[in-house]
Amino acid sequence: MSAADGLIETPAPAARRSGAVRRGGGTLQGWQRALLGFALPVGAALAWEVAIRLGIAQGRLLPAPSTIISTLADLARNGDLALHIRATLARVAAGFALGVAAGTLLGALAGASGLTRALLDPTLQGLRAIPSIAWVPLFILWLGIFEASKVTLIAVGVAFPVYLGTLGAILSVDRKIIEVGRSFRLTRLQLSCRILLPAVLPHYIVALRSGLGLGWMFVVAAEFMGASEGLGYLLVDGQQLGKPAQIVAAIVVFAILGKLTDALLVAASAPLLRWEDTAQRAAQAEG
Amino acid sequence: MLRLDAISKTYPTGTQALAHLTLSVGAGEILAVVGGSGCGKSTLLRLIAGLDRPSGGRIEVDGETIAAPHPAVGIVFQEPRLLAWLTVAQNIGFGIAHLPRPEREARIQAALERIGLAGHGNRWPRELSGGQAQRVALARALVARPRVLLLDEPFSALDHFTRADLQQHLIALWEDTRPTLVLVTHDIDEALALADRVVVMQPHPGRIGAILTVNPEYPRAPGSPEIEALKRQILNVLGPARSHAALPAAAE
């Protein structure tokens, strides 16, 4: 080791130090931060509960949290909740899978060359400009009112953000690292597997997450179209029969499921993205 | 043996980057190419690397024409260009994936030790300093055992001390297999410290202004009278160009 080596080594620990400070976010530990995140919703719920117990508010339009919890418990006990969750999850899963497949394929095709991009992108951007709900009548005419039209609507909603994310990720790959691959005489296939795919992955995961978010959005729209089961049905049913507790209960379940599936996606992709800069990763986890 | 025979390069925009350039570089020779911005020195390297095709002329390595990236030619860029998702060791082994595993591992280990990063093979590129990253890039090019190694201003982004250290690493690595080195730089001191011959290029269009031989007997210490004399010669050749293009190196 020469004297200059010591000089070179110094930036690394310095970078680690600044990373630790950033991760700490002041003096908050991870669990303290999580607790702080719960403070607002839990506090508001408790305040509302107290207000209704004291008779300050009636809670006719927005029931007390305890009422909502007991509604959820009832639904869970007679097995309805599991039935509705299963129906909705199945629709989201099928729509998400189809949408991701289509979006990824089209994105990869459009990203493959300038020619295919010029061919595909204008059409897809045009289709993307159509509000997806506008397709509903057509899908019902074509596919009927049962599962096929619902899954198709969700798939359309998922496909566009995945397409955009995939294409954007491919186009943003640094020409310079592709050159490294070329200088080592990688074939087109090797270049795709060893450089493009890993380089694209972080952006692609983000695209999948926004696709999943839209999948949850569109499953509600799809279930409003007339469903006999599913969380969206619970919403409509609650409205028609004047059961606000059931509506709020379904909304809470949507929130939990949405967050859960997103966390699942993040957790599944985490081992593939260990190499990413920690600051970026922290920002993504928060975002 | 690297031979450039009357090569020229004109870009589709009409810019003539190189005009009728002829040059031979012997096996194991260290050739430095200096010149201001826009004199075509980076274009020259890209042509030898096979990343671009010349508009005219021929490039040969040991009698084989270069028309695409060639296994006998390696390149180190100005930036390390490490692949962020591969560890240091995987980055070094990137270009030798076709070799059997034991051979590959042995070469990677040897290279890690050679660049002073033994035991750091499992780190990620983001954890490296600029100098360390460029050493890894150097190792990645050299483990493929090229007969010609091209270096495109490889140390220009580094601070003075790190640059001196990297130059030592380069010479130490070069001694292992003694490939032909073509080092593009805008740092005249660097060229004189390392090279057997210095090609001085002139712009509009890119061409060879002069070729100077650095006597191997010379003490390479900067400031020695022989080296200072060569430096003045180089500056004289670059002189007329100074009105055309910015010459940060010459101004130093």
Chain A interface, mutation test: which of B75, B83, B88, most A Cβ atoms within 10 Å?
Answer: B83
- Asked if residue A197 lies in contact with residue A247, where contact means CB atoms within 8 angstroms, the answer is no
Domains of chain A are: 68-286 (1.10.3720.10)
CA of B88: which chain A residue's CA is closest?
Answer: A275
Q: Which residue of A has its CA nearest to B81?
A: A177
Tell me the pLDDT tens digit for each residue of B150-206: 999 888 888 888 888 888 888 888 888 889 999 998 888 888 888 889 898 888 888
pLDDT at B11: 85
The C-alpha of A166 sits at a distance from chain B's nearest C-alpha, in angstroms, of 18
Domain B2-79+140-220+238-243, CATH homologous superfamily name and number: P-loop containing nucleotide triphosphate hydrolases (3.40.50.300)
Q: What is the pLDDT of residues A34-92, one digit of tens each?
A: 888 889 989 999 999 999 998 888 888 888 899 999 999 999 998 889 999 999 999 99
pLDDT grade for B33, boundaries at 50, 70 and 90 = very high
Contact in structure between A81 and A263 (CB atoms under 8 Å): no
- From A8, A183, A277, residue closest to B162, measured CB to CB: A8
Taking an 8 Å cut-off on Cβ atoms, the answer to whether A184 and B128 are in contact is no
The pLDDT score that the predictor gives to residue A5 is: 41
Q: Among B5, B226, A93, B225, which Cα is nearest to B212's?
A: B226
Inter-chain CB proximity A185 and B124 less than 8 Å: no
Residue A111 distance to chain B (closest CA, Å): 21
Helices (H), chain A: 3-9, 11-24, 30-53, 65-77, 80-112, 114-128, 136-143, 147-171, 175-183, 188-191, 197-224, 231-240, 244-269, 278-286
Residues of B in contact with A183 (CB under 8 A): 49-51, 69, 74-75
Contact residues on chain B for A277, CB-CB shorter than 8 A: 126
Look at residue A24 in the predicted model and tell me its pLDDT: 45
Residues B58-87 have a mean pLDDT of 89
Closest chain B residue to A280 measured between Cα atoms? B126
Mutate to test the interface with A, among B66, B85, B142, B163 (most CBs of A within 10 A): B85
Minimal Cα–Cα distance from B150 to chain A, Å? 11
Q: How far is B62 from chain A (nearest CA, A)?
A: 18
- pLDDT for the residue B108: 92
Q: Is B67 on the interface with A (CB under 8 A)?
A: no
Contacts of A228 (CB under 8 A, 6+ apart): none
Domain assignments of chain B as residue spans, ordered by start: 2-79+140-220+238-243
Averaged pLDDT for residues B115-129: 88
B52 touches chain A (CB under 8 A): no
**Mutant choice from A180, A185, A191, A278 vs B, greatest count of B C-beta within 10 A:** A180
- Mean pLDDT confidence for A8-37: 57
Question: B78 to chain A: nearest residue by CA?
Answer: A176
Query: Mean of the pLDDT values across residues A130-153?
Result: 90
Cβ contacts of A97 within 8 Å, gap of 6 or more:
none
Put simply, the answer to whether A184 touches B68 (Cβ < 8 Å) is no
| pLDDT one-digit tens code per residue, A206-225 | 999 999 999 999 999 999 88
Rounded distance between C-alpha atoms, residue A164 and residue A110, angstroms: 10
